[in-house]
Structure formats: structure tokens, C-alpha cells
Amino acid sequence: MTELNNIALKILEKGKGILAADESTGTMTKRLEGVNVISTPENRLLFRETLFSSSCMTKCIGGVILYDETIKQKNSKKIMIPELISKMGSYPGIKVDTGAKVLSGSPDEKITEGLDGLRERLKEYYQLGAKFTKWRGVYNISKNFPSKLSIHANANALARYSALVQECNMVPIVEPEVLMDGDHSADECYQKTSEVIKKCFEELILHKVDLKGIILKPNMILAGNKSNNKISGDEVAKLTLKCLKNSVPSEVPGIAFLSGGQSEKEATENLNLINKYNNTNFIMSYSYGRALQQSALKFWSKNIQNIEGTQKVFNHRAKMNTLAAQGKWSKDLEI
């Protein structure tokens, strides 16, 4: 399992983070149509290839999470996408869950599916060059949620997934996301996130998952997006660190935060503050989707052939987040 620990550490070394480019075809279609670009396999690939061949990949991006469609595609020079990512000095990864469905017994909550046939799919993805994988569990937050049923069921699925992934010599990203939708306070987010993460590790240990060979992808501790009691970046950082220090076993090599609906600059600023206050042994980095891609996507949509200009916008965002992962970012560096 030392090899898995090495991969996890390599993905997150020197402030490197993870580009989450694993949007399903449906989600990617919404994103493209939102900027008036027709969603075809060619256009989806063109945008992703533009990012994957950017210069920042070498110094800022340690891993790229792909979607099933993308991992099987070739770029304009007929190079397989995982090979292109590897050539840029980054690790290709793959999202392996099949999405969140209604949780039987609690219809207002979700359970992530995709365990059926997973062992066989993992073998195929490994052959295609994947070095790590991702599975996301989602939890609503309100007075009654997440329920014990949701917390237990999703933790169990994350653990079963992780065990199968390690069996296939890949690093599992464990993503329990407590959603920021709602009017809850940051304290409520802290309590519920702590409960969710602790249960995940209980199940991971029960399923004999080697904690040195995983990456945790949690939410930051934030007040809900409809809350009137927003907290400062300093408080976000301190509460997030307190939560993780009390919930995550010390063997875990690294934590890569999801952006969870924060704006690009918020996600960067909060990550920077977390690293300024980080008094743990955990590497604290990023695994962002929209918070890395949004500006680049808007720029690209104006002229999808302007590869160089799009890459410049993406390079800047990746550089800002890598500085934040080292606690070296400041507002003055933003364009």
C-alpha cells in the first residue's frame, strides 16, 4: 500500500491540487448552454483538452478527475486523454459513482449508487491509465437532516467503494459533501459535518481501507447560502480546521477541499486562510470544479478557438489556488 500513499502525496505535493473535470454529460451540457455553446462530444472535449494542455498542469495540478466519456477520448493529436494528462506531469483519475438517487426510507435525502459492477469497471479504468478515483456522497442539512439513515448509508457506500478501489491499486478520493444549500448556521454545519466525517472513517476502518492511501474531499465549514449569519473567512478557516482535527485520523495524507458553490475568489481566499492557520500534519489543498474553470469557460465561450487566451485565464486561477494551498496567496495577486 506504500505505492498508494506515494500517489496520494504526489497528487498534493508543493501546493498542487486536483482539477475536478468529471461533470456528467448532463451537467456539462448545462454549463456549456449557460454560456451559449452547443454541447457536443467535440465541444466538451475541446474545452477539456484546452485545460489539460495548459502550462499550469505541470506545477499546479497534481490530478485530474475525468468522466467516463472523457477517459476514453483522444485529443486533436490522437493522444488518449489519460496519456495527455500524464505527459503534463499530472495523474489521471476517474469518477466512478453513478449519481445520487432518492434514499429509500428517507425520500428527501439521497444515496449515491454505482457499487454494482464496480469491480469490473475499476479494472477497465485502471487499464485506461487511471491512478485514482472519486465517489461523492451528498447530505442535506436542516433541522432534521442529515438523518442517521443517510449518514450511515452513504458512509457504508463510500467505504465499500474505497475498499474495491484499493484492491485495484488506485487511490480512492472519499467525498462526503454536506451541502451549503439552506439557511443553517456555520455551527450547525460544523456539527453535522463532524458527524458525517466521523461515521465515514468508522466505516472505512471497518472495511479495512488503508487510510494512508486515500484523499479526503470534504466541504469547508460555512453558513448556508440562505443564512443571514455568514461568518468571516478567519472563522471559516478556524472552524474547518477544528472539525477536521477532531474527525480525521492522523494517517490520512491529505485533504483536498471541494468548493461547494463558493465563488472562485472565495474558494481561494478560504483555502489560503486554512493554510495560514493549519496546525495539523495534513496537507490541505483543493479539488475544485467550477472554482477552477468558471472564468476560463466564460472566456472560451466568446471564441472557442482561442485556446491560448483560455489557457491564460485557467493558468492564473490554478496558480492562485496553488499559492493558497501554501498559505501564500494575497488579494493583490488577483488580476
Residue with cell 500534519: 281
In this prediction, residue 200 has a pLDDT band, given cuts at 50, 70 and 90, of very high
pLDDT digits (tens, 9 = 90+) for 252-276: 999 999 999 899 999 999 999 999 9
DSSP state of 328: -
Q: Is the peptide bond before 146 cis (omega within 30 degrees of 0)?
A: yes
298-319: average pLDDT: 98
pLDDT digits (tens, 9 = 90+) for 61-112: 999 999 999 999 999 999 999 999 999 999 999 999 999 999 999 999 999 9
Distance CA 283, CA 326 (A): 9
3-state SS assignment for residue 19: strand
Catalytic residue annotation: 217
Distance CA 255, CA 217 (A): 6
207-226: average pLDDT: 97
Residue with cell 485514482: 132
Distance CA 185, CA 230 (A): 8
Containing 137, the helix (H) or strand (E) segment is strand 132-139
Q: What's the grid cell of residue 60?
A: 499546479
Distance CA 310, CA 322 (A): 19
Determine contact, residues 193/156, Cβ cutoff 8 Å. no
- Amino acid at site 88: M
Residue 335, pLDDT > 90, answer no
Q: How far is CA 94 from CA 24, 45, 168, 282, 332, in A?
A: 12, 15, 13, 23, 35
The 10 Å Cβ neighbour count of residue 225 is 15
7-18: average pLDDT: 98
Give the per-residue pLDDT at 136.
Answer: 98
Residue 1, pLDDT > 80, answer no
Structural domain span for residue 138: 2-333
Residue 55, pLDDT > 70, answer yes
- Amino acid at site 153: A
Distance CA 186, CA 188 (A): 5
Determine contact, residues 140/181, Cβ cutoff 8 Å. yes
CATH number at residue 297: 3.20.20.70
Give the per-residue pLDDT at 74.
Answer: 96
Residue 18, pLDDT > 80, answer yes
pLDDT digits (tens, 9 = 90+) for 123-175: 999 999 999 999 999 999 998 999 999 999 999 999 999 999 999 999 999 99
Determine contact, residues 165/134, Cβ cutoff 8 Å. no
Residue with cell 469557460: 297
Tally of structural domains, the chain: 1
Task: Indicate the angle between helix axes 264-277 and 307-324, nearest 10 degrees.
Answer: 30
Give the per-residue pLDDT at 323.
Answer: 98
